Amino acid sequence: MNVLEAMQNKILFFDGAMGTQLQARGIMPGELPELWNITHPDVIYDIHKAYLDAGCDILTTNTFGVNRLKFDTEGEYSVEKLICAAIQNAKKAASAYENKFVALDIGPCGKLLKPFGELDFEDAVSVFAEVVRIGTACGADLILIETMNDCYETKAAVLAAKENSDLPVFVTNVYDENMQLMTGAEPAAMVAMLEGLGVDALGVNCSLGPVQMLPVVRELCKFASVPVIVNPNAGLPVVADGKTVYDIDAVQFAEAIAEIVRIGARVVGGCCGTTPAHIEAAVAATKTIKLVEITKKKDTLVSSYKSAVMIDKKPVIIGERINPTGKKAFKEALRNNDIDYILGEGLKQQENGAHILDVNVGLPEIDECAVMCEAVKELQAIISLPLQIDTSDALTMERALRIYNGKALVNSVNGKQESMDMIFPLVKKYGGVVIALTLDEDGIPNTAEGRYKIAEKIYNCAKSYGIDGKDLIFDPLAMTVSADTDSALVTLGALKLISERLGCKTSLGVSNISFGLPQRELINSTFYAMALSAGLNAAILNPGSVEMMKTYHSFLTLSGMDENCAGYIDFASKHTFSADTAQAVGQNAADTTSGLQEAIVKGLKERASVCASDLLKSEKPLDIISKHIIPALDIVGKGFEDKTMFLPQLLMSAEASKAAFDAVKNAMQSMGDTQTKKGSIVLATVKGDIHDIGKNIVKVLLENYGFDVIDAGRDVPPEMVVALAQKHNAPLVGLSALMTTTVPSMQETIEALNQAMPACKVVVGGAVLTQEYADAIGADKYARDAMETVRYAEEIFGE
C-alpha cells in the first residue's frame, strides 16, 4: 500500500519535531542537525523509533536543510551522503513496523529568491531537484516540502519534485496569525497554485500552535480538493523564568488536533516543540472521529503571490491595457525595453479597479519571450493582482507560466487541435485557468449552437488532458454588430448555452462589438450590461474607461452584489472628486505667475504638470524648458551642493520637473517636434549587488537634465554592461556598488570596458566607495552623490 492509498480511509499521522529532540540530546545552537545522520545515526534512529511507537505513520527524514547551498557537494558529509544516511536511518526504524512511510523532508533553501533576494528561480529549482533525485534514488516513499514561507520558493520546490520524481508530493507552508505567508500569500492562493501544480496533499506547519491554526485550517479545507495536512507547533512559546515553555500541554495539543481533524484535515502531526507524547496523545484523541469526506471543489481560481481571485457570479474585470495593439507609445516602450512603462500601466489599472491584468507584449521586432518574462517578473514583484499571460507563441507561454508566481490565467486556447495540443499540456504541468475561444479550423460559427459545439469539443479535449471544466473560461466571441446585426444576440446565446450545459464560466472581449460605429463606448457599455445580465463572469476591458466602469458598478448594485451599495457610492464619489481636484489645482496654478518654477523647487508633481500645460498656451515648448524648468532644476541642484537642500527635496523636484517635461513632450509630439537628447549613458549596479536605490536616484536626475539613460538594472555582469555601452555607443558608463564585497566586480567591469571601449569614461559611486577606492580600481571619476554625476556628465558631453 502506498501513502496515497493509505490516506484514502484513515487519518495519517506525521511525526513530531526533530530539532527539539536533538536539542534535548545535546546539539548546540547553530550546529547542523543534518550532520547527525552520519555522526549520530543511533540518535536519529531512536528519535524515529520513539515517534513510530507513539503511533505516527509517516517519518520525516532529518534532511530539512540539506542542499548544495548549505552543504558540500563532495566529501564525507556531502549532500548525497547526508540524504542517503537520513533515509537509511528512517527506513531502518520503519522496517520493524507495517505500513509506515518515509518522507524525504525538504525545507527552505535558506536564500530569498529574486527580485527581493539574489537566487534565480531556475537556480532554486535546480538546488531542490538535486535533493529530490538523491532522495528518490535512496528509496523515500514520498516528498514533503515543508516550512515554506515564500510562495515562489514553494513553486520552485514543487516543480523540482514533479520533474525529477514520480513520488507523491506533499507541501506545507508557514502562515502567520494574519493567515499569510511571509511573502503575503493567503490560503486560497496557495491552494490554487499548488493544486494547479498537481501536488497530492497540502497544508500548514510551524510558527503557530494548533489553536491559532484553526482559521487557516478552515480556509484550506474550504478550497482544497486534495487532502489537507496540519503540523502545528506544540503551542505558542512563552518565557517563564528564563525558560521557553509552551502555553498548552500534550493533552490540550491533542484536543486541538481532534478539532482540526473534525474540520477536515486528513494528515496531522507536529512541528517545533512537539514530542512523541504529543503524537501519542493526538493519535488517541482522534481514534473515534468520523472521517470528513474530501470533496472536489468547483471554484475557478487564479492567484498571485498574494491572493486568489475567484471567477464566479460576481463579474471580474481583466485589464486590457498591457497590450501594444494600436498604441504608439506602448510599442515605443517595448522597443526601448522600458519596463517602467508597463509597470505604470499595471499600477494604473490596479488603481482603477481591475481584478486581473492581461499581459501581451507581442511585437514582431522584439524578443517576445524575453520581454514577456521580464514583464511578468517585474509586475508580479509589485502588483498583487493575478496576471493573464497573453501570447500565441508556445515557447513564450511555457516560459511565462513557469516563472509566474501563482496560478495564471492563460490567454488563450481555441478549438483547433493544434492549439489544444499546444496549450493543454502546459496547463496540466504548470496549472492555470484557460480562456477558450469558440473557433476552430472552420472559423467562427455564426450560430449560438455552432459555438457551443466547439466549446463542448474543447471541454472534452481538456478532460482528456486531465484538466477540469472549472479551469476553463469560454469566450463566445463578440463580433462586429455593424457587419451582422444578429451578432450580439448570437454571442449572448452561446454564452448562455455554455454556462447552462457545461456549467463553465464565460468571458468576453466586449469592445469588438462596436467596430465601425460612432460613439463606440455607448454600444460597448450597453452590450457589456446585456452580457452581464446574461451571466457573463469576466470581461477584458479598459478599467480606465469611465463608461464601462459605470456599467460595471451599477450592474453590481442592481443585481444584489454590492452590499449597502458601498462599491457604487465609493466609485461615484471618487469620480466627482477627481474632477474637482483637477480644477482646484488648475486654479492655483493660474494664480501664480512663476508657478512652474516654484512647483518644481517645492517638488509638487501635479502642480508642475498643470503649470506646464498652462504655460504651453502662451509659450513655446522649448522656451518652457529653458526658461522655467532648467532654472528651477539649477536652484535645487545648487541648493543641494551648498547643503541648504537635501536628497529628498532633490528627488521630489526631479519628479516634479519630470511631470512638467512629460506635459511639454506631449505638446511637442503633437506638433511633430522631437526633443533632442544629449547622449546616452549606461547605468548599472554591478554583479553581486542587488541594492540599487542609489543608482535609481542618479538615473532620475540624469534624465531630468536631458540625458538618455540606459538602465541595465542590478546584479549586472560585466559583459552585459559592455554590450549595452557598445550598442548605444555610450561615451559614459555609471556603476554603483553598495558593498565592499562587490567592489572587485566593479573593477572587473571597468577593465572589460577599458578593453572594449577605451574612449568610454566610467563614473562610480555607492556607499562603500571613496576616492582612493575609485582610483585603485581604475575609475575615471568618483561621484560622491547624484548631482556630482550630473555635473560630470555635463563635462563629458561638452557643456
Binding site for other proteins (CB under 8 A): 19, 23, 28-32, 107-108, 110-112, 115-118, 147, 149-150, 174, 176-178, 180, 182-184, 206, 237, 239, 242-244, 340, 343-344, 347, 381-382, 602-604, 646-649, 651-652, 654-655, 688-693, 696-697, 700, 738-739, 741-742
Q: Cβ closer to other proteins: 34 or 398?
A: 34
Query: How far is it, in rounded angstroms, from Cα 359 to Cα 332?
Result: 16
Is the peptide bond prior to 499 cis by the omega test (within 30 degrees of 0)?
no
| 3-state SS, residue 732 | strand
Spell out the SS3 assignment of 392-455: CCHHHHHHHHHHCCCCCEEEEEECCHHHHHHHHHHHHHHCCEEEEECCECCECCCCHHHHHHHH
Q: Are 457 and 440 in contact (CB under 8 A)?
A: yes
CA angle 28, 32, 35 (to 5 degrees): 115
Q: Which alpha helices (H) appear in 302-361, and where do they start and end?
A: 328-335, 339-352
Q: Cβ closer to other proteins: 294 or 690?
A: 690
Cell numbers linked to 123 = 537556480
Q: Cβ closer to other proteins: 357 or 479?
A: 357
Beta strands in 93-181 (DSSP E): 101-106, 142-148, 169-173
**Least distance to other proteins, CB of residue 638, Å:** 16
Instruction: Cell 481571485: give the residue.
Output: 309
Q: How far is the CA of 15 from the CAs of 34, 49, 170, 699, 732, in angstroms?
A: 17, 10, 14, 54, 61
Dihedral, 394, 395, 399, 402 alpha carbons, nearest 10: 50
Q: Which alpha helices (H) appear in 592-711, and where do they start and end?
A: 595-602, 605-615, 621-624, 630-641, 647-670, 693-704
Q: Cβ closer to other proteins: 99 or 770?
A: 770
Q: Cβ closer to other proteins: 237 or 353?
A: 237
| 3-state SS, residue 620 | coil
**Least distance to other proteins, CB of residue 102, Å:** 22
**Least distance to other proteins, CB of residue 545, Å:** 23
What are the φ and ψ backbone dihedral angles of 645, each rounded to 5 degrees? -125, 160
Burial letters 688-714, b for 16+ CB under 10 A, else e = bbbbbebbbbbbbbbbbbbbbbbbbbb
Q: Cβ closer to other proteins: 111 or 678?
A: 111
**Least distance to other proteins, CB of residue 637, Å:** 15
Q: Are 737 and 743 in contact (CB under 8 A)?
A: yes
**Least distance to other proteins, CB of residue 344, Å:** 7
Q: Cβ closer to other proteins: 380 or 438?
A: 380
Beta-carbon contacts of 203 under 8 Å, excluding residues fewer than 6 positions away, are 170, 171, 172, 173, 217, 220, 228, 229, 230, 231, 265, 267
Among residues 730, 714, 629, 735, the alpha carbon closest in space to that of 677 is found at 730
For residue 299, the 8-state DSSP code is -
Instruction: Cell 547622449: give the residue.
Output: 679
**Least distance to other proteins, CB of residue 381, Å:** 6
**Least distance to other proteins, CB of residue 685, Å:** 12
Q: How many CB atoms lie within 10 A of CB 644?
A: 9
**Least distance to other proteins, CB of residue 238, Å:** 8
**Least distance to other proteins, CB of residue 421, Å:** 38
**Least distance to other proteins, CB of residue 619, Å:** 26
Q: Cβ closer to other proteins: 180 or 487?
A: 180
Q: Cβ closer to other proteins: 117 or 679?
A: 117
Among residues 189, 113, 191, the alpha carbon closest in space to that of 157 is found at 113
Strand arrangement of the beta sheet that strand 680-685 belongs to: 708-711, 680-685, 732-736, 761-765, 781-782
**Least distance to other proteins, CB of residue 737, Å:** 10
End-to-end CA distance of the chain: 80
Q: Cβ closer to other proteins: 381 or 572?
A: 381
**Least distance to other proteins, CB of residue 603, Å:** 5
Q: Cβ closer to other proteins: 498 or 599?
A: 599
Q: Cβ closer to other proteins: 33 or 476?
A: 33
**Least distance to other proteins, CB of residue 267, Å:** 21
Q: Cβ closer to other proteins: 37 or 164?
A: 37
**Least distance to other proteins, CB of residue 407, Å:** 20
Q: Cβ closer to other proteins: 562 or 692?
A: 692
